[in-house]
């Protein structure tokens, strides 16, 4: 019985291995199609390769030296330094870009630092409309005083080309009751890097086609591995030189991208259906602007060489969001009524206003007073905001220093403040307000008159 079971398992493994290899070989005609077929499929771009798409093991056996087999990658986009004195929860790094091939996963590690008087912090995930099958999970929600959390990003396998799945998709790791959060930007890889580097009129293709990812895309009527053979058209239905296949007599038949059949253009689409279309095959739906190797930034579709943007996006490359959420000031106005929201970002009209929502005004008389209540209650435990301090005053980070000489001296968006409080005492602090940071630095001791 045990022998039969071992034989059955062996046959099952062989069958699964054959199925993977067979699936890869069915997608041999392009690198993009190959890597979309399955995470086990790799592409050989070596010159005169006899095998295009196969498993990595089989390509290596075949002697392929130039293999495209994308692996997950992480790029740190923002990693602000840890403050010398932790006054609130601080996470590091603050922004990452993750690239995943469908069918793979990646673990992201984040450092969490907390003040000494914090026992634990509850960490949550906020997913912004990520597609079904892109799973993002925390393996630990409670973090001790200073610890490490891990985020698992798992991308499902997509068996076909689906630009709407490519992203980027955004997920935020948040510490409950605190404003600081970590931004994860997730991209799914559906395209090969080499497919963006076409060698037009390549010598390797006999000067009759483009070389893409190690293969020739031949111009009509040439065929063959190196476009070395002229394909003879013996079909009597083909009408050559038919003027109805071109917009005017000086133009090539079917814009040079198709064959004229009975006065109608049959467009050539060597990779994806309908990439070339139009009455005269004049439209190329693959010749639109790219951003980060994505056609129309992956926020639109290419129609006849121009991007048609998805809902919520605009611009020549579909990179301009129409979402105004990040432009809303605390008073509910766009850009505080002091600027214009362009592509989801505020452009302040007056040079004295700045910050992500045009609310920061270093030269205005009111910014120090606006912050004073929260700064006083958090720094000294006094003032009118004491009873509401924990609830309403955690919208900025705070650092304490010993003297006014230790306060930040210069910087865009920096305001200096000196305010009088009870008992004729003064206290000093600075406010730094930028797109990425709202922070306060305060002198830890009050400046009070002598007690006589």
How many Cα atoms within 13 Å fall on the side-chain side of residue 2? 0
| Tens digits of residue pLDDT in 285-342 | 777 887 777 778 788 888 887 888 888 888 888 888 888 888 888 767 888 888 889 8
Question: Tokens 């190196």 identify what position?
Answer: 226
Q: What is the pLDDT of residue 386?
A: 92
Torsion of CA 10, 13, 17, 19, to 10 degrees: 110
| Tens digits of residue pLDDT in 50-81 | 667 788 888 888 788 888 888 888 899 988 88
Distance between CA atoms of residues 133 and 155, nearest Å: 6
Cβ 305 vs Cβ 252: under 8 Å: no
Predicted confidence (pLDDT) at residue 85 exceeds the cutoff of 50: yes
Q: What is the pLDDT of residue 202?
A: 83
Q: What is the pLDDT of residue 379?
A: 92
Which runs of consecutive H residues, i.e. helices, occur in 70-219?
Answer: none
Looking at residue 221, the DSSP 8-state letter turns out to be T
How many Cα atoms within 13 Å fall on the side-chain side of residue 126? 10
Predicted confidence (pLDDT) at residue 213 exceeds the cutoff of 60: yes
Distance between CA atoms of residues 441 and 100, nearest Å: 40
| CA 449 from centroid of its chain's CA atoms | 55
What domains does the chain contain, in order, with CATH numbers?
22-67 (3.30.1680.10), 73-188 (2.60.40.1510), 198-232 (2.10.25), 290-321 (2.10.25.10), 323-353 (no CATH), 367-443 (4.10.1240.30)
Confidence of residue 12 (pLDDT cuts 50, 70, 90): very low
Based on C-alpha coordinates, what's the Rg of the chain?
A: 31
Q: What is the pLDDT of residue 124?
A: 79
Cβ 213 vs Cβ 45: under 8 Å: yes
Q: What is the pLDDT of residue 162?
A: 52
Q: What is the pLDDT of residue 7?
A: 44
Cβ 99 vs Cβ 73: under 8 Å: yes
Extract the tokens encoding 434.
């930028």
Phi and psi at residue 391, to the nearest 5°:
-85, -35
Predicted confidence (pLDDT) at residue 239 exceeds the cutoff of 70: no
Q: What is the pLDDT of residue 378?
A: 92
Predicted confidence (pLDDT) at residue 443 exceeds the cutoff of 90: yes
Q: What is the pLDDT of residue 19?
A: 40
Distance between CA atoms of residues 286 and 302, nearest Å: 7
Q: What is the pLDDT of residue 142?
A: 53
Distance between CA atoms of residues 417 and 64, nearest Å: 67
pTM (two decimals): 0.44
Confidence of residue 402 (pLDDT cuts 50, 70, 90): very high
């Amino acid at each position: 019985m045990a022998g039969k079971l071992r034989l059955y398992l062996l046959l099952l493994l062989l069958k699964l291995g054959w199925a993977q290899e067979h699936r890869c070989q069915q997608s041999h005609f392009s690198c993009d199609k190959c890597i979309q077929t399955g995470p086990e499929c790799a592409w050989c771009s070596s010159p005169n390769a006899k095998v295009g798409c196969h498993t990595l093991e089989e390509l290596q056996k075949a002697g392929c030296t130039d293999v495209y087999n994308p692996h997950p990658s992480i790029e740190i986009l923002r990693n602000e330094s840890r403050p010398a004195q932790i006054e609130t929860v601080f996470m590091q790094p603050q922004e990452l870009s993750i690239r995943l091939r469908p069918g793979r996963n990646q673990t992201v590690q984040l450092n969490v630092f907390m003040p000494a008087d914090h026992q634990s912090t509850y960490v949550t995930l906020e997913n912004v409309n990520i597609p079904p099958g892109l799973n993002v999970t925390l393996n630990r929600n409670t973090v001790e005083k200073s610890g490490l959390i891990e985020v698992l990003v798992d991308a499902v396998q997509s068996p076909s080309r689906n630009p709407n799945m490519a992203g980027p998709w955004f997920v935020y790791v948040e510490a409950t009751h605190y404003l600081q959060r970590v931004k994860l930007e997730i991209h799914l890889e559906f395209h090969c890097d080499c497919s963006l580097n076409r060698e037009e009129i390549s010598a390797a293709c006999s000067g009759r086609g483009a070389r893409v990812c190690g293969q020739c895309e031949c111009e009509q009527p040439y065929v063959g591995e190196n476009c070395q053979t002229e394909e003879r058209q013996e079909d009597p239905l083909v009408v050559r030189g038919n003027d109805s296949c071109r917009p005017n007599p000086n133009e090539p038949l079917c814009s040079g991208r198709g064959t004229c059949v009975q006065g109608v253009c049959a467009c050539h689409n060597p990779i994806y259906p309908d990439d070339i279309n139009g009455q005269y095959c004049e439209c190329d739906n693959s010749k639109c602007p790219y951003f980060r190797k994505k056609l129309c930034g992956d926020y639109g579709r290419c129609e006849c060489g121009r991007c048609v943007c998805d809902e919520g996006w605009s611009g020549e490359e579909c990179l301009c969001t129409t979402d105004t959420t990040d432009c809303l000031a605390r008073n509910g106005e766009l850009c505080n009524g002091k600027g214009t929201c362009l592509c989801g970002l505020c452009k302040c009209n007056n040079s004295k206003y700045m910050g992500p929502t045009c609310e920061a005004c270093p030269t205005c008389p009111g910014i120090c007073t606006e912050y004073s209540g929260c700064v006083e209650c958090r720094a000294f435990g006094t003032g009118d905001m004491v009873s509401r301090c924990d609830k309403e005053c955690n919208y900025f980070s705070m650092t304490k220093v010993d003297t006014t000489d230790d306060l930040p001296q210069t910087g865009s968006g920096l305001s200096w403040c000196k305010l009088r409080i009870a008992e004729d005492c003064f206290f000093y602090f600075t406010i730094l307000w930028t797109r990425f940071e709202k922070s306060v630095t305060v002198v830890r001791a009050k400046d009070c008159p002598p007690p006589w």
